[in-house]
Amino acid sequence: MTPRGRIFYTGPMAWPRVVTWIAPSLALFAAAVAGTVAFAAGVDAGWLAATLLLGLPGLVLGPLIARSRPHDAAGAFLAAAGLVLVVVGAGNVVMAAGLASPQDFGSTAVLVATMSQGIWMFLYVPWALVLLCFPAGRIEGRTRWIAAVLVATAAVFTLVAPWAGPYDEPVTEHFRILPPAAWAPAVGYPLVGLFMVCLLLCAVTMLRRYRHGDGRTRGQIRWLAVAAAVVPETLLLCWIGGPREGGGLLLGIGLSAMYTVVPAAVAVALLRADAVVSGSLPVRVAAGFAGAATVGGLAALAGFLFKGKEPLTAATVVAAAATVLVLVSWHQLNHVLGLWLDPENEHVLSAIAKLQSRIAAGEAVPEELAAVLASALGDPGLQVGLVPLTGDGGTELYGVAGLPSEAGQAAPIILGRQVIGAVRSSNGGPRREALAAAAPMVELARHRQALAAALAEAQAGRERIVRAAHEERRRLERDLHDGVQQQLVALGLSLRLIQRHLPAGASDAAAALDEGVDDLAAAIAEIRRIARGLQPGSLDDGLSSALRQLAGRPGAPVGLELSGPLEAAPEIVRATVYFVASEAVVNASKHASATRVQLRAEGHSGGVWLHVSDDGAGGAVARAGGGLAGLADRVAALGGTFSLLSPRGGGTVVEAWLPCDL
């Protein structure tokens, strides 16, 4: 047979599409027949119209699901639920016609009344089967036994129920032709108990599937769980409305909600899963149901209790108070329902809220967001990427921990319609609500990252300036030593040579030459002093040698302690250490009137540490433009730290740490 000729059979699971085509056809046929009977007998067909309207969502959404997912049994069961309800409505019309025209429809009404006594079980069977197959779309494993027992129990009960008694009033008892049998209750009640057990097993099966499912599966089941909340609300309305006049209206409202919300939830979860199951909408819908049930239930109960004593006023007052209560406790209600319907998302939101509190208290930083999300989601490999604040708007992200990621492979974090970051996770990552809650911290992390980059650039610029100045001083020192100084020395030698060749008696010229040579010597000494200020010549023999020479200068005695590989430090570090030590020692002797100075220099694997202390007058201050302030800036430019402790009358302590590889 060609593919064009295969109308119904498309594979081993093609039967759902068959059911979704047959069920609406049978429902329309039953409605048409019942409508014709109602017209012929002159009876009201309002109940038929109501059941047809209530069954319409299942009859329409079932084929839509089957069309999009031809192997999904949920669509077939939704269509079957709509069919059963329409058949029940059609049966009631036939029985009403039998009462109005027994000569025309009496025998048919008798048959319908007999078979309808146990059909109520089939009103629940399709919904139970939806629980067994949702959201995978098929009944597998042990659940097949539950489905088989469920359907068999409903079928047997339908055959046994006509022998029980009495029939439901007011229509069906009139058509009773089977006398009550003593064995019927003995068989019927155990069947009802078995049926209830099967329904409970269906719910437990869905719960187990939720606990062991992935994020998508759980999101879909949440929609069905929210829709299932309509069932107890319907029972509540039945209980409240039963003893009251107008209770049928409340029951109709409950049934309408059940037969419209459940198919809609199933269709949304299956056909629009990617768009909606990942959000908190199911929780909010459940909160709306709970709030509506609270308001409506309390209002109806108040009206019932104050029957005959202004029931409308009492119901209005209670409804208003209950509405205010629901609005005030809306967030708490969402949180409680979220813990039940969406515990993973609530756990993530709680972790984000705690991190926000710790950041506000100064106990944490926003860069901890990645670790918090990884812990809450149980994904050690989770990454949080940041869009650079000063970037060109590209898709490249830079992780908080320095790990790059790509925006196309991650869930975007949006703030003010702008993508500011993304989360990449192996298990689906956080939901939209969690991403929105984390957005302010991501934005703060972006600004911190930009500030850190600016500070790093500024620090690098300062270090470049210091190194350039050091190299310039070295160049000037070499130029003075090797250029001007040597030329002046040569000039002095030339003058002495001229002096030796002067004729006897040229005493005035000899005296002038002596004076010129002395001036040259003074100039050379001044040049040497300037050169030593630019780059101490003692450093040519190493930092240790330079510090020993410094300690040996006239002035207050200097205790010297040297340790570690000081000579392995870079030249600029050695020069900076020397200048700091020299400034501190000179200040102690010259300005603080110290009688003792202690100088310690230690070389470590991470850098050089310098400590200079004295017993002088103290009160030293690193004023802007002063020597200590300049040295502090120079140390900071090399990535080091500088500290000055100088209380008046308590001596002075100068410490410096310059990082480098030794």
| pLDDT band of 63, cuts 50, 70, 90 | confident
Which token pair is 612? Answer: 């200079």
* CB 355, CB 335: distance < 8 Å: no
DSSP state of 540: G
Using DSSP's 3-state secondary structure scheme, residue 403 falls into coil
* Terminal-to-terminal C-alpha distance of the chain: 85
Strands 597-604, 558-563: pairing kind: parallel
Which contacts of 296-304 are long-range, i.e. CB under 8 A and separated by 24 or more positions?
296/237, 297/236, 297/237, 297/240, 298/322, 300/237, 300/240, 300/241, 300/244, 300/250, 301/240, 303/244, 304/240, 304/243, 304/244
The lowest-confidence range among 277-286, 310-319, 333-342, 589-598 is 277-286
Taking only the tens place, the pLDDT of each residue in 541-585 is 788 888 888 888 887 888 999 998 888 888 888 888 888 888 888
Give me the pLDDT at residue 87, please.
92
In the predicted structure, residue 470 carries a pLDDT above the cut 70: no
In the predicted structure, residue 654 carries a pLDDT above the cut 70: yes
As separate numbers, helices (DSSP H) first and strands (DSSP E) second, the chain gives 22, 10
In the predicted structure, residue 13 carries a pLDDT above the cut 80: no
Taking only the tens place, the pLDDT of each residue in 200-226 is 888 888 888 877 777 677 777 777 776
Q: Residue 310: left if φ>0, alpha if ψ -120 to 50, beta else—which one?
A: left
Give me the pLDDT at residue 609, please.
92
385-389, 568-572, 643-647: range with highest mean pLDDT: 643-647
Which token pair is 604? Answer: 């470590």
Share of the chain above pLDDT 70, in %: 72
pTM of the model: 0.50
Give me the pLDDT at residue 232, please.
54
DSSP state of 166: P
Give me the pLDDT at residue 145, please.
92
| pLDDT band of 134, cuts 50, 70, 90 | confident
What's the rounded mean pLDDT across residues 502-517?
70
What's the rounded mean pLDDT across residues 61-68?
84
As a whole number of angstroms, the distance between CA 559 and CA 274 comes to 76
What's the rounded mean pLDDT across residues 233-261?
57
pLDDT higher for 424 or 249? 424
What are the chain's domains?
10-212 (no CATH), 382-535 (no CATH), 542-659 (3.30.565.10)
As a whole number of angstroms, the distance between CA 150 and CA 342 comes to 30
Give me the pLDDT at residue 601, please.
92
